[in-house]
Amino acid sequence: MTHAQAGHAPAQYQLSISRLIDAPRRKVFRAWTEPALLAQWWGPHGMTTPECEMDLWVGGQFRTLMRAPDGQEYPTMGVFLEIVAPRRLVFTDAFVPGWIPSAKPFMTAEVTFDEVDGKTLYTARAMRWSEADQKAHEAMGFHEGWGQSLDRLVTLVTQGMPD
């Protein structure tokens, strides 16, 4: 069930990316929820993710550290708001574990995995609190960066990951 099918209107300030992936959704969901697998594809081309921790329960942490080829590091920390295996994940950086408000919330993300004839319709949405935050994320290269991560995810689930 998609966000719209669930009776929810899309967020006012959101960016999204979708792709039909030639892999079963349980496999794509696994690549998203097992830290060792997520670390193999998370981030744009050239980036590595040397640190990835997640606790798959509501309020559990979602933490990654991406590293650029020049050594610059990009940490993220947040919590899961919803987990419906293998259909949907929602997480936010508005809180850190313990439901402690973060210093500067940037986004809430929703990732859906819809089954379509043995394949997965993958949709990732990044939702913001303001138009300024949405425009800032677009200017940072949302579509290119998330698109390259998605390319890496597709490669992993179709070529580099056993069933």
Whether the pLDDT of residue 66 is over 70: the answer is yes
Give the pLDDT band of residue 143 (cuts 50, 70, 90). confident
pLDDT at 84: 98
Asked whether residue 162 carries a pLDDT value surpassing 90, the answer given is no
User: Is the pLDDT reported for residue 73 higher than 70?
Assistant: yes
What would the two tokens of residue 2 be? 């998609």
pLDDT(111) > 80: yes
Residue 6 has pLDDT above 80, yes or no: no
1 has a pLDDT exceeding 80: no
Which residues neighbour 89 within 8 Å (Cβ) at sequence distance 6 or greater? Answer: 32, 33, 80, 82, 83, 109, 110, 111
Please provide the average confidence, as pLDDT, over all residues in the chain.
91
CATH class of 14-157: alpha beta
Average pLDDT over residues 51-59: 97
Please tell me the predicted confidence (pLDDT) of residue 62: 97
32: Cβ contacts below 8 Å, ≥ 6 apart: 38, 89, 111, 113, 153
Contact (Cβ atoms closer than 8 angstroms) between residue 37 and residue 29: no
Q: What is the mean pLDDT of residues 82-111?
A: 96
What pLDDT shows up at residue 9? 61
Provide the pLDDT for residue 86: 97
pTM as predicted: 0.89
